[in-house]
Structure 1
Amino acid sequence: MTKRLLTALLGGVSLLGTAGIALAADATLTIESWRNDDLSIWQEKLIPAFEAKNPGIKITFAPSAPTEYDAALGAKLQAGSAGDLITCRPFDKSLELYNKGNLADLTTLSGMENFSDTAKAAWTTDDGKATFCVPMASVLHGFIYNKDAFDQLGIKVPETRDEFFAALDKIKADGTYIPMAMGTKDLWEAATMGYQNIGPNYWKGEEGRVALIKGEQKLTDPDWVAPFEELAKWKPYLGDGFEAQTYPDSQNLFTLGRAAIYPAGSWEISVFNAQAQFKMGAFPPPVGKAGDTCYISDHNDIGIGLNAASKNADAAKTFLTWVASPEFAEIYANALPGFFSLNSKPVEMKDPLAQEFVSWRGKCKSTIRSTYQILSRGTPNLENETWVESANVINGTETPQQAAEKLQKGLDSWYKPAK
């Protein structure tokens, strides 16, 4: 064998060896998700931003239909064919996956220090010892209003409950607009945009929510009955036939300019921006009196975790650390106005309505929906029962006290607080 041929052969081995190493270092990660409406945002904004800084890692976003996600994901996990990264629903669905060994413990992941305990609450074990998903976004509650209507009627944005009801009275007396667009037919609307929206100001956010879980407070206590008492006062302002009004009906009444105020979740922002032909503003749930501490429902909505069986765990952790970064937070929150970053570093929102919502974090205390952690694991399910009772109170078929007693009785039938 000539020296030249030997050199060439050795060079070829060397090249093959180098190529082998390069290929071994490369990884393609697949993300499982129910948010199929996010596909273009991932493909056009998020994935290119990550891959530009991590050329050895490729990302594929592969969502399922929202209604099929839980079953499809469960089947894939069982078959060993699920993606490396699992988009996490809040609370019990994801906790169940963690307890089954499907989600890896991410407590010590670099970047987790960027989130508060409340931000991580939806993806942390009951004992607080393990966190298994990186928080991505929350949704906020408050009221969206028709600025043109307020200007026309000379109404200033209400800060207290007295000002809120004075505004509703003025809108009703004028007769041009339905004061508030909300129906009770779909039940959840009454609880989510009603009870859980205004309630934190009464039960003092996390203080009351945690006390309820510990058994130190009951749903029959004054601070938990009071939101129902306020809801009962909403009835005259909801317009004719609100009992038969669905959630899409409420959206349409507002975006068509027929109602002045909409009890809202921030996820409405993109939809309303596209449909409403008038200027909009937003205000947080009014407090009892000027100077009172305000509380907002800042509810954990979506996170992302690591499939414990992933063969690309190191690459996946690199990606999850990026998801935990302020860079991801800014891209995601601005691409999806109304889904707000849970990162401790504030994100400046380009959408003015979204910026109005997120600005409340600077002056109000954040909490999550009272029924979501631990208290809806049994039968009757407290979340679903709260839907029913909120609608009944607004409809006038039950008193606030009756609704509270029914909820507490249902909870007592299966829930025993840990001592």
Structure 2
Amino acid sequence: MTKTLKGALLLSVLGTGAWAQDVTLTIESWRNDDLKIWQDEIIPAFEAEHPGIKLNFTPSAPAEYNAILNSKLDAGSAGDIITCRPFDASLALYEGGKLADLSDLEGMSNFSDVAKSAWVTDDGEHPFCVPMGAVIHGFIYNKEIFEELGLEEPTTVAEFYDVLDKIKEDGTYTPMAMGTNDQWEAATMGYQNIGPTYWKGEEGRTALISGDAKLNDPQFTEVFTELAKWGDYLGDGFEAQTYPDSQNVFTLGRAAIYPAGSWEVSGFNNLADFEMGAFPPPVAAEGDTCYISDHTDIGIGMNAATEHPEEAKTFLNWVASPEFSKIFANALPGFYPLASEPVEITDPLAAEFASWRDQCESTIRSSYQILSRGTPNLENELWNASAAVIKGTETPEEAANRLQEGLASWYENQQ
């Protein structure tokens, strides 16, 4: 064999070896609680279907994720796949050239405009993250306590307070487990939980963005009026009660009701030794339309600087598929796929939350899109306003007027 032929064959073998080498995609995320699920279920399922592409899931602590991710992106050391928080934080990454435009990603056709709303430009033209999961708000309750006290799930506001009054009168259990120390839960599991019932979901939320409604209009002030009643049912010392304290009070069986997000399902299943149920935010009168906060919570996109864009798109298209949705929904009960094709959920408590999508109108948290871009930040202001109203240190009208004044100080549509 001539030296020339030997050389050509060697180059051919080396070239083939390089071409066949596995590509590893690194995934950035704040969901460090999900590491085992990714390692045991999601990654093996993807790699079995896509030989030649490996996945490396590398989460950071939730509170540190934004800072760590931004630092990595600026240094050019971030992973190929970026887990996306909803709305402005991810939009800023896209506008800064850090997240790739996914307009041409085939899998994006599997999602509605509402599902994509948290990860798309304001004009709706350029999606930059695949919608992955939503969380739903409502109330989780202890079925054993309800049975003991002869209570039924409330469907109207009047029934809701009747149930709370009966639990309080009995005196054995705290009616609702929630504190105001950390503030955010007062807004997230209080204001944003029951609020859509009063401002009629998307109708009210989008009216705030357009300027056709104000935060001190009756339909928004009334939410604070309801929250002001909650303090009587939260137990002694609720003002100093932290979020983990509230979780413990409920899962130890000391409280009957927990104002909730569905993200609690998985953890509560592991901690509570009693059967749980859930009910959606009560309506004003029997037969009224019910509304739920079905909030776009987590998406996943592509680092614009990845060296493996085609492999990254292969993974993102798989995330957009029914196969991923089924794995995701049942591996992480309480986080719901956003793809249009329905998925059967096996966990009964998680399935109960999901069933409300067929009964109620869905919306997202009112402060998350556009309205928290300025100073004062509406989302943060809602935290302290909701906590203050529940504690009784601010009236509903004072809270609503303060929020409206703050929003109007920087948002042109509200001026």
TM-score by length of 1: 0.95
Q: Is 1:194 aligned to 2:190, yes or no? A: yes
Tell me what 2:254 maps to: 258
Report the aligned-residue RMSD. 1.7
> Which residue of 372, 380, 398 maps to 2:376?
380
Tell me what 1:323 maps to: 319
Map residues 183-262 of structure 1 onto 2, 5 A cutoff: 183-262=179-258
Q: How many angstroms apart in 1 are the aligned matches of 2:268 and 2:17?
A: 52
Pairwise CA distance, 1:11:
5.3
Map residues 48-67 of structure 1 onto 2, 5 A cutoff: 48-67=44-63
Q: 1:64 to 1:244 in 2, by over 3 A?
A: closer
Q: How many angstroms apart in 2 are the aligned matches of 1:380 and 1:418?
A: 14
Q: How many angstroms apart in 1 are the aligned matches of 2:180 and 2:60?
A: 30
Q: How many angstroms apart in 1 are the aligned matches of 2:10 and 2:394?
A: 83
Pairwise CA distance, 1:200:
0.4
Q: 1:418 to 1:250 in 2, by over 3 A?
A: closer
Is the 8 Å Cα contact of residues 179 and 239 (structure 2) preserved in structure 1? yes
Tell me what 2:94 maps to: 98
Q: Which moved further from structure 2: 312-321 or 242-251?
A: 242-251
Tell me what 2:363 maps to: 367
Pairwise CA distance, 1:10:
6.1
Q: Which moved further from structure 2: 397-406 or 7-16?
A: 7-16
Tell me what 2:19 maps to: 21
> Which residue of 301, 307, 317 maps to 1:305?
301
Segments of 5+ residues of structure 1 without an aligned counterpart are: none
Q: Is 1:146 aligned to 2:142, yes or no? A: yes
Pairwise CA distance, 1:247:
1.3
TM-score by length of 2: 0.96
What are the Cα deviations for residues 344-395 of structure 1, in whole angstroms up to 9, with x where unaligned?
1122112111111111111111111101111111111111111111111111
Q: 1:128 to 1:34 in 2, by over 3 A?
A: same
The residue identity in structure 2 corresponding to 1:189 is E
Tell me what 1:272 maps to: 268
Q: Secondary structure at the match of 2:139?
A: strand
Q: How many angstroms apart in 2 are the aligned matches of 1:238 and 1:281?
A: 19
Is the 8 Å Cα contact of residues 293 and 364 (structure 2) preserved in structure 1? yes
Tell me what 1:123 maps to: 119
Tell me what 1:70 maps to: 66
Q: Secondary structure at the match of 1:157?
A: coil
Is the 8 Å Cα contact of residues 408 and 414 (structure 2) preserved in structure 1? no
Pairwise CA distance, 1:20:
3.9
Q: Which moved further from structure 2: 92-101 or 386-395?
A: 386-395
Q: Is 1:137 aligned to 2:101, yes or no? A: no
Q: How many angstroms apart in 2 are the aligned matches of 1:123 and 1:418?
A: 24
Q: How many angstroms apart in 1 are the aligned matches of 2:19 and 2:406?
A: 60
Pairwise CA distance, 1:327:
0.7
The residue identity in structure 2 corresponding to 1:414 is W
Q: How many angstroms apart in 2 are the aligned matches of 1:165 and 1:158?
A: 9
Q: Is 1:177 aligned to 2:173, yes or no? A: yes
Q: How many angstroms apart in 1 are the aligned matches of 2:180 and 2:19?
A: 61
What are the Cα deviations for residues 167-215 of structure 1, in whole angstroms up to 9, with x where unaligned?
1111111112111111112111111110100000111111110110110
Q: Secondary structure at the match of 1:137?
A: strand
What are the Cα deviations for residues 275-294 of structure 1, in whole angstroms up to 9, with x where unaligned?
11211100000111111111
The residue identity in structure 1 corresponding to 2:262 is S
> Which residue of 64, 82, 86 maps to 1:86?
82
Q: How many angstroms apart in 1 are the aligned matches of 2:129 and 2:233?
A: 41
Q: How many angstroms apart in 1 are the aligned matches of 2:382 and 2:60?
A: 29
Pairwise CA distance, 1:399:
1.5
User: Aligned residues, how many?
Assistant: 415
> Which residue of 273, 280, 285 maps to 1:284?
280
> Which residue of 148, 156, 162 maps to 2:158?
162
What are the Cα deviations for residues 135-163 of structure 1, in whole angstroms up to 9, with x where unaligned?
11111110000100111111111111111
Q: How many angstroms apart in 2 are the aligned matches of 1:285 and 1:316?
A: 40
Q: How many angstroms apart in 1 are the aligned matches of 2:143 and 2:281?
A: 17
Pairwise CA distance, 1:271:
1.6
Q: Which moved further from structure 2: 144-153 or 66-75?
A: 66-75
Q: Secondary structure at the match of 1:49?
A: helix
Q: Is 1:394 aligned to 2:390, yes or no? A: yes
Pairwise CA distance, 1:68:
2.4
Q: Which moved further from structure 2: 66-75 or 228-237?
A: 66-75
